Amino acid sequence: MIFVTVGTQLPFDRLLQAMDDWAEINPDHHVIAQTGVSNLQTSRIETRPFVNASEFKTLVKQADVLVAHAGMGSILTAVELGKPVIIMPRRAGLGEHRNDHQLATAERLGHLENLQVVENARELPMALRKALNAKSFAAMSEMISDGHRRLVGEVRNFIADPAWASATEDLELAA
Amino acid sequence: MNNSGKSKKRRVLAVASGGGHWVQMLRLRPAFLNSEVHFATVDAAAAADVAPAPLYTFRDANRDTKVRLILSTLKIAAIILKVRPHVIVSTGAAPGYLAIRMGKLLGARTMFIDSIANANELSLSAHMVKRHADRLVTQWPSVAEKSGAVFRGSVL
């Protein structure tokens, strides 16, 4: 199964249409799409406007490949579960987002082993072929990088900082 | 005034919008192991991710949805009054800004971690919260250089 997700904030029919076109010439593959607000008319793709966080995770787990906008929820979930993911960044110039930060995300995270970036519908079929043939990637859910460990430590130290009790805490301790 | 020897755990309110903001918050969970953490987000199903820690929900909102933003503000205020956090940690977006502004009024220490999605510049929420949060963190060194936020690693 291929799971397609475009998030919930703004429509992204360019990606959905591209997947629908792909599904037409690849009828053996089951495609499920979380569409958000969309004008897509399709009988080839199973569509759901919204899915909650746990349904989302289940669908990514079940999928052979995740195809997504360049949203961090999609990318991080794919990385955690070791799934091949293809991302198509939304473009502000096409009315797909308020700014082009998804292009920056794609550019900066393009080095991730399980991630492919496509700019448009034309590049999608080849990326899908590659992803469907990919060996499985190591799930990162249990792994923690140096950078991740550092950020967790920063948050933990901020919370624990003995020199910096909050005003609320002082009142409670005095009581 | 924290040297009284009391080992009471600090109460933390962890606030995030849905989607990527929530996924990033989940990756920070190890940081909350020694505190009494309460979570707040937009999706009640997220409770399964953090149980047995309590989870509160508010309606998702952004600056394009003014009425909902007001309703969210009221709900987040109610959550803060209930939890009375010592520390507020947010991974964005607009609701994190709101929580930090209101939390400061009640004396909480506050930390805003801008999403890893903001690889070139701080998000609007991060810009707005800059003057108010006790610590503003970006997940990109290049953004830290030009923004005044600090870089201390990332969720990836």
Q: Looking at residue B42, which CATH number applies to its domain?
A: 3.40.50.2000
pLDDT digits (tens, 9 = 90+) for A10-65: 999 999 999 999 999 999 999 999 999 999 999 899 999 999 888 999 999 999 99
Beta pairing class for A31-34 and B55-57: unpaired
Find, among A135, A155, A152, A140, the residue nearest to A109 by Cα: A140
**Closest approach of A113 to chain B, Cα-based (Å):** 13
The answer to whether B6 contacts chain A (CB < 8 Å) is yes
- Quote the tokens at residue A88: 């198509």
* CB-CB neighbors (< 8 A) of B89 in chain A: 155, 158-159
pTM of this structure: 0.90
Is there a contact between B156 and A109 if contact means CB atoms under 8 Å apart? yes
**Domain-embedded: residue B5:** no
Domain borders along chain A are 2-142, 144-175
Number of domains in chain B: 1
* ipTM for the whole predicted complex goes beyond 0.90: yes
pLDDT band (50, 70, 90) for residue B91 = very high
Indicate whether A164 pLDDT > 80.
no
Owning domain of residue B39: 11-151
H-helix segments, B34-153: 47-50, 66-83, 94-105, 124-129, 141-147
Is there a contact between B24 and A160 if contact means CB atoms under 8 Å apart? no
* CB-CB neighbors (< 8 A) of A113 in chain B: none
**Under CATH, domain A2-142 is a member of which superfamily?**
Glycogen Phosphorylase B; (3.40.50.2000)
Q: Which residues 84-123 of B are in CB contact (within 8 Å) with A?
A: 84-87, 89, 106-109, 111, 113, 115-120
Is there a contact between A152 and B86 if contact means CB atoms under 8 Å apart? no
What is the 3-class SS of chain A, one letter each residue? CEEEECCCCCCCHHHHHHHHHHHHHCCCCCEEEECCCCCCCCCCCEEECCCCHHHHHHHHHHCCEEEEECCHHHHHHHHHHCCCEEEECCCHHHCCCCCCHHHHHHHHHCCCCCEEECCCHHHHHHHHHHHHCCCCCCCCCCCCCHHHHHHHHHHHHHHHCCCCCCHHHHHHHHC
**Domain-embedded: residue B68:** yes
For position B2, what pLDDT does the model report?
43
Q: Are B85 and B56 in contact (CB under 8 A)?
A: no
**Domain-embedded: residue B3:** no
Indicate whether B134 pLDDT > 60.
yes
* CB-CB neighbors (< 8 A) of A171 in chain B: 107
- Cα A39 to Cα A98: distance, rounded to the nearest angstrom: 20
**Domain-embedded: residue B57:** yes
